[in-house]
Amino acid sequence: MSNTDPVVPNTAPFAPEQVQWLNSFLPALQPDQLTWLEGFVSGLRAGKAGAPSTLAAPATTPQLTVLYGTESGNSESLADQTVKVANKSGFKAKAVSMGDIKPAKLKGVENLLVIVSTWGEGDPPENAVDFYEAFMSDSAPKLEGVHFSVLGLGDTSYEHFCKMGKDFDARLEALGAKRVFDRVDCDVDYDDAFVAWQKGALAALSDIAQPTESAGGVMTAAVATPTVAYSRKNPFPAELTERVILNCEGSAKETIHLEMSLEGSGLDYQAGDALAVVPHNADDIVEDIIKITNLDADAPVLIKEQDFTLKDALTSQLDVTGISLPVLKRYNEIAKDVKLAEMLNPENKAQLQAYLYGREIIDVLKDFPAKEITADALVGIMRKLPPRLYSIASSPKAHPGEVHLTVGVVRYDAHGRNRKGVCSTYLAERIQEGDKVDVFVTPNKHFKVPANPDAPMIMVGPGTGIAPFRAFVEERKATDAKGKNWLFFGDQHYLTDFLYQTEWQDYLADGILTKLDVAFSRDQKEKVYVQDRMRENAKELYAWIQEGASFYVCGDASRMATDVDVALHDIIEQEGGMSKEDAAAFVKQLKTDKRYLRDVY
């Protein structure tokens, strides 16, 4: 509103001096002042009409905090979607990472939605570790007056399915908060469950917040709508334009470099994000399942109100390999096998775990055959085929309209059968250049190049963990960033497994890559790993960190990432002259400052 534009016309029912005064007064008001004035005038008018003379305070917008804990970015994405829908529904909502808040800050929060994933064997995700420990401790604040609901993300193939969601839900109640909508536990196919939870939780909070009105009228819970045409719910069919084997002849490994076109998709990504690939199952596995169950491949089946043939459903819709406790229980409701029932007894957990190792659904069908099973019953025991996430190996600034992946192909023998990774072999052999692959982007906002282009960067990425660092270095070259870059890479053999070797050597020659340290574990009698190279360069590595370097790790979570973390603690303790406790506090501060970042799996 301009101070020079008249807002009250001369025809208004005011004296000329009143019109002049209003035109000098109203344009100077701020939006919140105008809102207050509207409420004041409404109350004044109601009082003159015979209503109570006390002036009602203007309606306020209810606050909503959407707290998330995430490892791969899914919980954060759902939190962002929920905030957008909540704001349209009349709330003033904000998404908050568990890594950026202390439990004490929840005291006084009136409306709280929690979206949290479970990592590994029932652990909190990376950004939620400290918050979770504090929230479960005796020092956690009482939260009477907080209205809440929880959404848990998990994977039924793991024993402690959605443990974090269950823990937060129970702890909030124990601290005095009031549950307004029941917790929902989501498997990897979470889209429909999330939308139902979001709608129900916002509606429940809206009922509590009434009679508050938003700018558009009475609050209503909306349903999320996609901002782009292609998304998780509607993957983009990307053309595979190139596939190259990165390992040389004689390697024990099979690593492929893939390039796909995103032209016309509207999809955007940044270095550090992941690409989700929706795979198809191998024909031989599907055929074996149909054969062992003696079913008709063309038998019609219904999955979420969609019609498929049995073969199509097993090929493109269902996880036909992964075994989980829910899958086994559903199957034995049909098979009614005494031995399997005994194995499913909680007292025989060790026996069940030993059986499951290296086995797939085809083994269960063979070892515990059902006397009679229908096509609908067979698909009913399986969960939806989940997409596979791969760290993107390209910068969009270096390859506009393209996305690159680095994929390790999984093949092994177990229990008398040849096994194969569902998605890795799909990308390696079941599609050809020119074929389409269904994909969508999964943002990872917390795994990015330093915001300061002059800041140093240390990257530790053995094997396919090299993928995001190829993107990082491409990004820094494309943006002409001046910060130093140091890469630690490791694999089995120098001659056969040095992934992207010529690219790294060119970057070294050009000065874009400041330092490169490699560890090829099988090229000498004593195995050497990336953490060993870190220790050999301890003094310089610590100096880089003191200069403000960010430290990144990508790759295997079970061993490599743990060993690298131990090495980092030891280096800081040794070179910084610190105690173990002080070194641990130093590393913790690096994480808090978002200078120690991991993308592990």
Q: Residue 334 corresponds to which tokens in the numbers above? A: 């049909």
pLDDT score at 233: 86
> Across all residues in the chain, what is the average pLDDT?
90
From 100-109, 202-211, 230-239, the region with the lowest mean pLDDT: 202-211
162-208 pLDDT, tens per residue? 999 999 999 999 999 999 999 999 998 888 899 999 999 999 999 88
Q: Give the list of residues 6+ apart from residue 569 with CB closer than 8 angstroms, or none.
A: 580, 583, 584, 587
Please state the rounded mean pLDDT for residues 258-271. 96
From 2-16, 280-294, 436-450, 546-560, the region with the lowest mean pLDDT: 2-16
Q: How far apart are CA 81 and CA 301, in angstroms?
A: 33
8-state DSSP, 4: T
Q: How far apart are CA 75 and CA 80, in angstroms?
A: 9
pLDDT above 50 (res 597): yes
pLDDT score at 210: 66
Q: Residue 520 corresponds to which tokens in the numbers above? A: 């090829």
418-466 pLDDT, tens per residue? 999 999 999 999 999 999 999 999 999 889 999 999 999 999 999 999 9
pLDDT score at 211: 43
Q: Are 476 and 447 in contact (CB under 8 A)?
A: no
pLDDT score at 127: 84
pLDDT score at 217: 43
pLDDT score at 30: 54
570-585 pLDDT, tens per residue? 999 999 999 999 999 9
pLDDT above 70 (res 33): no
CB burial class (10 A; 0-12, 13-18, 19+) of residue 5?
exposed
Comparison of pLDDT for 316 and 16, the residue scoring more = 316
Q: Give the list of residues 6+ apart from residue 515 with CB closer than 8 angstroms, or none.
A: 484, 485, 486, 487
Q: Residue 74 corresponds to which tokens in the numbers above? A: 């899914």
Chain-centroid distance of CA 123 in Å reads 15
pLDDT above 90 (res 407): yes
Q: How far apart are CA 77 and CA 378, in angstroms?
A: 33
pLDDT score at 59: 53
Q: What percent of the chain has pLDDT over 70?
A: 87
**DSSP assignment string, 161-221:** TTHHHHHHHHHHHHTT-EESS--EEE-S--HHHHHHHHHHHHHHHHHHHTT-EETTEE---
The region, left, alpha or beta by phi > 0 then psi within -120 to 50, assigned to residue 162 is left
47-84 pLDDT, tens per residue? 444 444 444 444 578 999 999 999 888 899 999 999 99
Please state the rounded mean pLDDT for residues 352-362. 94
pLDDT score at 137: 94
pLDDT score at 19: 63
pLDDT above 90 (res 224): no
pLDDT score at 85: 94
Q: How far apart are CA 416 and CA 214, in angstroms?
A: 64
pLDDT above 50 (res 545): yes
pLDDT above 80 (res 31): no
pLDDT above 80 (res 229): no
From 15-24, 92-101, 197-206, the region with the lowest mean pLDDT: 15-24
